[in-house]
Structure 1
Amino acid sequence: MRFELSPAGRRLARRFPLPLAVAAVAGQAVAMIVWAVAAPGGAAESAAAVKGDGKVAITYIITGDRPTADIAYDTPDGSEDHEAVALPFKAEYRFKKGESLSLRVQNRYQNGPGHMMCTILANGRVVKQSSASGEHAIAFCDGAAGLEKPVPGAKVPSMAAPRLPKGEVRLTKVVRVPRYKGSGSPVVGRVGDGDAHLSYAEFGGAWGPSRRTDPAMAGYGRQQVFDTDPSWQAVLASGLVRSDLMGAYKGPDKLRALASAVQDNRQHSAFTDTTTGRDVASQPLVVSGRKGWVIVREMRFRKEGVSSTMDLSAVVVVDTGRPRPSFVWLDVPASRKRLWPDVNALIRSLRVT
């Protein structure tokens, strides 16, 4: 997987000249994954959570017919911008009356031409809505909280997932994780991730030692890696699911949907732009009496200087009883296929702490 900073890390890098930015993020996790804790909607509150405070319940919604988009929006505490956010996107806040509202979405050129729409709801009614189409389509909505009139005839957009690009496969039925053949890695201990309230096997052999990382920069609290090429790594990491992905966490199938959203986010942020993701397993788990779900996806890609053309990516999402579920993510390139049994060993070892 390629090196990558979390959205917070990218914003830090943009605020400083390159040498200072490099120094500021030195020692933080690179490459791979996932999933930033400092992410869209991180300060969001439920629109129904606070009543009688005189504030306006604002809901931002972004929809489109492409899988991802770059977005930016105002919050009560400032503004946020994020790249390659999985669509549809939804965030809820409470603004003081008259505060500035702004929501911007841009299609990513990697998606090809597509249609994008931004929508702002105030107390549940559409007050702003705009759309655009094209390879670089940009839709923009703005206004002032509590001062905008409902848009006549405007409808709240559907939050259904957009159509998958050709070659992509997402499992909606249960397919159990296969028992992968190979020598696998020796288990040399256990990793405890206090932030995620999870523990699991620590691997030896080719794997480096498990290390703590800064979740605000890397997007996860623990990582274990080894180099498979000069610019590519196998990765094992854990942390809390990004707050902007929690919109998928609803309905009777919410754990599966959230695990799929986490995989989608990783595919679009940690792999090449032309990667094709094909789910090969999707099944429920019970971890220390808590519900979980695992999705295994084959990430097929081509990248100059990388010997593998496919990574096996396994994501486990666990409801630990905290407000946000936790994840463990394991990625091993096909060039190290003999280590794919690490997926089975990781799942067996997983515990809630």
Structure 2
Amino acid sequence: MAPFPKWVPLLGSAVLLAELVIGIPVAVGGGSTEEPRSMPSPSPSVTAVPPSPVPAAPTSTPTPTLATATPSPSGLEVTRIQEGRVVKLRLRPGQGSPVIGRVTDPKTGLSFAELGSPWRPSRPIGDGPIKDGRYNLRQTLLTETYGTDDGREWWADIDSQQLWSDLDAGDSLYDAARAMLDYKQDSAFPSGTTGRDIASQPVRRGWLLARMIQMPPSPDGRKARQELSVAIAVDTGRPRPAVLWITIPDTHRRLWPDVDTLVKSLKVVPRR
């Protein structure tokens, strides 16, 4: 028997080695590879919905304070500017009266312009055409005579005085000016007169209140139907306020600018 060629054993060894290599993967699971894990699906995002805006409750618009007609217990009818509301005095057209000097009233502590013609010189009350112990100084102007034989007179006045203790003047300078105008309307004008406040404003150390006085027709033929009446209450450091009262009828409305002249000139005299 011829001997095996040398390559036969080598071939068998190679075949055996190949079977071993191929058989190992089969024994451990067939050579399959693990599939990658799928990533967990993200949770659906929740979008925050803002709350619906709550409509704001409607705010009420404050009603502006208006001048109101206020009859007093004595029957005085006045359309007032309420205290605290500022209404500036409107400048009146015209040149007005010349200024010839100053009036100084040591009793009240007031000093203000003295007006020239057609005004009469300023005098103590005891020396004037109307004598009233309540006043200290007065400057007057005769505006008309009327009635039978022109026996009646109508005057324009510039008076200085201290506020009288018997007037219901309240606690403020506005109240002091109001009390003076109410007293004048009730006592110095005919029955049926009405008043309408046209200015209410602060001045140096005081308060100004201006009123347009409306008078009924005069059975005696008086021409004046309206009168610009102004009270300025001033704190002079004395126990009671001083008051400057100015009143000029519509027959001499060309002199209404005198009110502005007096207001600008008003000063307080230091106590000695």
TM-score range, shorter chain: 0.5 to 0.7
Counterparts of 2:132 and 2:238, CA distance in 1: 22
Counterparts of 2:133 and 2:190, CA distance in 1: 19
Q: Output aligned runs, 1:50-129, within 5 Å.
A: 67-69=72-74, 111=75
> What does residue 155 of structure 2 align with?
233
Which residues of structure 1 form unaligned runs of 5+? 1-64, 70-110, 112-163
Counterparts of 1:321 and 1:199, CA distance in 2: 14
> What does residue 219 of structure 1 align with?
134
Counterparts of 2:159 and 2:268, CA distance in 1: 15
Counterparts of 1:352 and 1:257, CA distance in 2: 20
Secondary structure of 2:222's partner? Answer: coil
> What does residue 81 of structure 2 align with?
171
Stretches of 4+ moved more than 6 A in 1?
none
Contact 2:195–2:212 (Cα < 8 Å) also in 1: yes
Q: Which has the higher strand share?
A: 1
Secondary structure of 1:196's partner? Answer: coil
Contact 2:92–2:256 (Cα < 8 Å) also in 1: yes
Q: CA RMSD in A?
A: 1.9
> What does residue 261 of structure 1 align with?
179
Contact 1:229–1:305 (Cα < 8 Å) also in 2: no
Contact 2:176–2:241 (Cα < 8 Å) also in 1: no
Aligned match for 2:93, one of 177, 181, 187? 181
> What does residue 195 of structure 2 align with?
277
Structure 1 residues 272-293: Cα deviation after superposition (integer angstroms, max 9, x where no partner): 111101000000111xxxx200
Deviation (angstroms), 1:249: 3.1
Counterparts of 2:250 and 2:154, CA distance in 1: 12
Deviation (angstroms), 1:180: 1.1
- AA aligned to 1:192 is T
Structure 1 residues 8-36: Cα deviation after superposition (integer angstroms, max 9, x where no partner): xxxxxxxxxxxxxxxxxxxxxxxxxxxxx
In the alignment, does 2:255 pair up with 1:333?
A: no
Identity among equivalent positions (%) equals 40
Q: Output aligned runs, 1:288-327, within 5 Å.
A: 291-302=205-216, 303=218, 304-327=220-243
Counterparts of 1:275 and 1:248, CA distance in 2: 21
State the TM-score, normalized to the length of structure 1: 0.50
**Aligned length, in residue pairs:** 186
Secondary structure of 1:248's partner? Answer: coil
Q: CA distance change for structure 1 residues 323 and 274 in 2, over 3 Å: closer, same or farther?
A: same
